Amino acid sequence: MNIKPRQSKIPIGISQCAMGDPVRYNGGHKHSKVCTELLSQCFEYVPLCPEVAIGMGVPRKPIHLLVEKASAPVDAVRVVGVEDSSVDVTAPLRDYADSVVPELEKVRGYILMQNSPSCGLRGVRRYLDNGHGIDSEGVGVFARRLQQRFPHLPMEEVGRLNNSELRENFLTRVFAYDAWFRCVEMTDTETEGDPERVPSRLARIIDFYTAYKYLLLAHNQEATRALGRLLADARSMPEDELAFKVRGGIMNILSRPASRKDRTNALMHSAGHLSEFLDRAEKAELTELIEEYRLGHKPLSAVLTLLRHYLPRSPHGFIHSQVLLAAEPAELGLCDFH
């Protein structure tokens, strides 16, 4: 399976205030240039403001997360007015999230505003009924519902996307999630050419893992091998269950940033596939370059460029299919932003 880049922008959900729209409780916004000027090069946004959508209006009285005690389970929260805790919008926010699920079936990632009792993805401040802050273990009620409805959907907070490594990781996850739906879960109408010649879904699941194998190894070797063992026994479980587990496994592995050590290992595996087509000097140059990458003296792009230069010499489909060797987010100019 050769996973081709998407020709159109990827649909991504986003908290509307990050787009610069004045929808916050105080009539302001939280414009993110990284989202609107950088990531918009490859993302097509679906902006939503849950609080406005449930009719709270702008400006509106602030709300916060209420719990009965510290360390209460994440779902044991209510979203209530800061000044008047009898104003409870928990159910409307959850119902709103449920109502937009059909619209969000098509998004391949979601960017959420941090610290919001509706949109925050982690670490939202929680309060007791007496108004005292008790902990920061909260998840916004809208964001939490999205997690439950789309358990593998790549999600990230706006502020964290200012960090180039976290941004690269989010892009990697979005590209993978999008590729899964384009290459594994496509409907009959989306298949190009003769549907009879499209491989079975089981074959597509296995091919997808195979194409991602070296990229996955760069993120988590142990979990990648465990996923490989699951696929070796693929026929022992219903296909839908297998697809869910493999997709979840892949997204979980990619959520851990690739370490230089594990990336070096994956690059050496790739080089190993090409070595029989290289002469002694070329092999030595490639090995030295990978070592310099390992030591932090050369960028990843330098190694990938050389590997891609030698790639046409190999007739083997496996190495040609490797997503690791395709253009990575940093090379698309999406990671550096000043």
DSSP character for 157? E
Residue type, 312: P
Provide long-range contacts, Cβ within 8 A and 24+ apart, for 26-31.
Answer: 26/59, 27/58, 27/59, 30/113, 30/158
Cα 57 vs. chain centroid, distance in angstroms? 31
Distance of closest approach, residue 27 Cβ to ligand SF4, in angstroms: 10
Rounded to a whole number of angstroms, the minimum distance from the CB of residue 158 to ligand SF4 is 9
Q: Is residue 146 near ligand SF4 by the rule CB under 6 A?
A: no
- Residue 188 has which token pair? 């009959």
Binding residue (CB under 6 A) for ligand SF4 from 1, 13, 15, 334: 15
Task: Report which secondary-structure segment, H or E, holds 239.
Answer: helix 239-254
322 binds ligand SF4 (CB under 6 A): no
When asked if residue 141 is in the footprint of ligand SF4 (CB under 6 A), the reply is no
**Taking CB under 6 A as the rule, does residue 121 contact ligand SF4?**
no
Give the integer Cα–Cα distance in Å for 258 and 189. Answer: 36
Q: Decide if residue 116 touches ligand SF4 (CB under 6 A).
A: yes
Q: Does 13 bind ligand SF4 (CB under 6 A)?
A: no
- Least Å from the CB of residue 181 to ligand SF4: 25
32 part of the interface to ligand SF4, by CB under 6 A: no
In angstroms, the CA 205 to CA 56 distance is 44
CB atoms under 10 Å from CB of 226, counted, come to 12
Stretch that binds ligand SF4, among 47-55, 121-129, 147-155, 284-292 (CB under 6 A): 47-55
Provide, rounded to whole angstroms, the least separation between the CB of residue 29 and ligand SF4. 8
- Nearer to ligand SF4 by Cβ, of 142 and 150: the residue is 142
Residues near ligand SF4 (CB under 6 A), total:
12
94 forms part of the interface with ligand SF4 (CB under 6 A): no
- Burial class, 334, CB count within 10 angstroms (exposed 0-12 / middle 13-18 / buried 19+): buried
Pair 58, 22: CB distance under 8 Å:
yes
Given a contact cutoff of 8 angstroms between Cβ atoms, the answer to whether 271 and 307 are in contact is yes
Pairing of strands 133-138, 124-127: antiparallel
CB of 121 to ligand SF4, least distance (A): 11
- Taking CB under 6 A as the binding criterion, the range among 9-17, 177-185, 260-268, 270-278 that sits at the site for ligand SF4 is 9-17
Q: Report the nearest approach of ligand SF4 to the CB of residue 182 (Å).
A: 28
Q: Give the Cα separation of 256 and 223 in Å (integer).
A: 11
Q: How far is the CB of 45 from ligand SF4 (least distance, A)?
A: 12
Query: Interface with ligand SF4 by CB under 6 A: which residues?
Result: 15-17, 23-24, 49-51, 113, 116, 118-119
